[in-house]
């Protein structure tokens, strides 16, 4: 179904074959726009966008954004970057390059064609936060030389580049600080907590809790996040962000495990592993700014979103064993 759209725009989505990117491409197509999806398939898959390939307004380009890209577009959503700790630590130098060189290229492109450009930044810019919940004014507490630094510092530098292109060249920028987001099309093996716990439970394996499980995260369902990203892109030109996007309802990892076990109908006891180095103890967004500027707040409760995600993984596994 096509939503109301007065002006058809040509929109570039980098990382469009990934988890968030594929949902965003879908949404922007249904809003009536022309979509150019650029992805090097580092962590994304063709499967995520197969259903879009025949759409007359969808185009796919296999390309690594650390190399220059010359196309003509009106808007750019720059999402390309591995996002789970296992993936971004697999080739940390490439992770930093994607955030830094990739952002320079996308900003250079935006400058040449006068496109509005949005950065998918992250709550990881706050590191292991000393302020709770986190507000946009907090500068963060990041270890610059630890195993997570390629991601955290890469995104921090990307934010710097966005703001310098804005100040120096007058670019229209939007910086989203995305907090933990989950839903269908997460990778089953990317090591993130929601996909790990669901996959383990569906396979009859014990859930692996790192540390004592008392660390916290706030989980935003993908549909809420897509709505937020589109609203952010459409805020007035003088609004740059950064703006926190995420669900402010906070859970311990132990509580998350209990929710998933109950929804899948398992009584297996979790097992406990060592907490990874530099793992943030607590994370929860203050979304006052998003509420005020974008009139947005998440509407999908954890159990509702988890049920959809569990159904997705159940179907994937059924399909794989058929």
> What distances in angstroms separate CA 275 from CA 192, 213, 214, 261, one per listed residue?
14, 9, 11, 21
Interface mask (CB under 6 A) for ligand UDP, residues 71-90, using x and -? -------------xx-----
Give which of 181, 185, 164 is closest to 173, Cα–Cα.
164
Give the pair of three-digit tokens for residue 223. 């549909």
Which residue has the closest beta carbon to ligand UDP?
108
- Which C-beta is closer to ligand UDP: that of 116 or that of 217? 217
Residues 6+ apart with CB under 8 A from 294: 228, 231, 232, 235, 243
- As measured in angstroms, the least distance from the Cβ of 59 to ligand UDP is 17
Stretch that binds ligand UDP, among 17-25, 74-82, 139-147, 190-198 (CB under 6 A): 190-198
- As measured in angstroms, the least distance from the Cβ of 125 to ligand NAD is 10
Window 221 to 260, contacts with ligand UDP (CB under 6 A): 253
Q: Which does 210 bind (CB under 5 to 8 A by kind): ligand NAD, ligand UDP, none?
A: ligand UDP
- As measured in angstroms, the least distance from the Cβ of 151 to ligand NAD is 7
Residue 37 CA to residue 35 CA, distance in Å, equals 6
Q: Which does 18 bind (CB under 5 to 8 A by kind): ligand NAD, ligand UDP, none?
A: ligand NAD
- Which C-beta is closer to ligand UDP: that of 26 or that of 246? 246
Q: Which does 122 bind (CB under 5 to 8 A by kind): ligand UDP, ligand NAD, none?
A: ligand NAD
> What distances in angstroms separate CA 219 from CA 72, 93, 284, 305, one per listed residue?
35, 28, 9, 9
DSSP run (H or E) holding 121: strand 116-122
Phi, psi angle pair for 71, to nearest 5°: -140, 170
Q: Which does 247 bind (CB under 5 to 8 A by kind): ligand NAD, ligand UDP, none?
A: none
Task: Name the H helices within the chain.
Answer: 19-30, 85-90, 92-113, 149-169, 193-202, 222-233, 253-264, 288-294, 302-321
151: annotated active-site residue? yes
Interface mask (CB under 6 A) for ligand UDP, residues 31-70, using x and -? -------------------------------------xxx
> What distances in angstroms separate CA 317 from CA 9, 131, 133, 200, 321, one per listed residue?
37, 40, 37, 12, 6
Residue 13 CA to residue 36 CA, distance in Å, equals 6
> What distances in angstroms separate CA 246 from CA 165, 192, 314, 315, one per listed residue?
26, 16, 26, 27
Interface mask (CB under 6 A) for ligand UDP, residues 101-130, using x and -? ---xx--xx-xx------------------
Among 95, 134, 215, 247, binds ligand UDP (CB under 6 A): 215
Q: Which does 64 bind (CB under 5 to 8 A by kind): ligand UDP, ligand NAD, none?
A: ligand NAD
Residue 40 CA to residue 13 CA, distance in Å, equals 12
Give the active site residue among 88, 151, 165, 182.
151
Enumerate the active-site residues.
151
Binding site for ligand UDP (CB under 6 A): 68-70, 84-85, 104-105, 108-109, 111-112, 180, 191-193, 196, 208-210, 215, 217, 253, 275-276, 279
């Amino acid at each position: 179904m096509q939503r109301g759209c007065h002006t058809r725009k040509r929109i570039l989505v980098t990382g469009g074959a990934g988890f968030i990117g594929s949902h965003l491409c879908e949404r922007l197509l249904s809003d009536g726009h022309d979509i150019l999806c650029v992805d090097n398939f580092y962590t994304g898959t063709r499967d995520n966008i197969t259903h879009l390939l025949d759409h007359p307004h969808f185009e796919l380009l296999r390309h690594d954004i650390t190399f220059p890209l010359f196309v003509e577009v009106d808007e750019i959503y720059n999402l390309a970057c591995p996002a789970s700790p296992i993936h971004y630590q697999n080739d940390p130098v490439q992770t930093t390059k994607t955030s830094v060189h990739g952002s320079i290229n996308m900003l250079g492109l935006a400058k040449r064609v006068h496109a509005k450009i949005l950065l998918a930044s992250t709550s990881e810019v706050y590191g292991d936060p000393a302020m709770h919940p986190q507000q946009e004014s907090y500068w963060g507490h990041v270890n610059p030389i630890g195993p997570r630094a390629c991601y955290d510092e890469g995104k921090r530098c990307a934010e710097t580049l966005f703001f310098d292109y804005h100040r120096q060249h007058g670019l229209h920028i939007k910086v989203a600080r995305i907090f933990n987001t989950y839903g269908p099309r997460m990778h089953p093996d990317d090591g993130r907590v929601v996909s790990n716990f669901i996959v383990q439970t569906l396979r009859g394996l014990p859930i692996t809790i790192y540390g004592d499980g008392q660390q916290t995260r706030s989980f935003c369902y993908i549909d809420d996040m897509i709505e937020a990203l589109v609203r952010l892109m459409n805020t007035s030109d003088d609004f740059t962000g950064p703006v926190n996007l995420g669900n402010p309802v906070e859970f311990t990892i132990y509580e998350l495990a209990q929710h998933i076990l109950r929804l899948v109908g398992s009584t297996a006891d979790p097992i406990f592993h060592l907490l990874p180095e530099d793992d943030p103890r607590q994370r929860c967004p203050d979304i006052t700014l998003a509420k005020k500027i974008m009139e947005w707040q998440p509407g999908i409760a954890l159990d509702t979103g988890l049920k959809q995600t569990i159904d997705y993984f159940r179907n994937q596994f059924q399909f794989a064993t058929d």
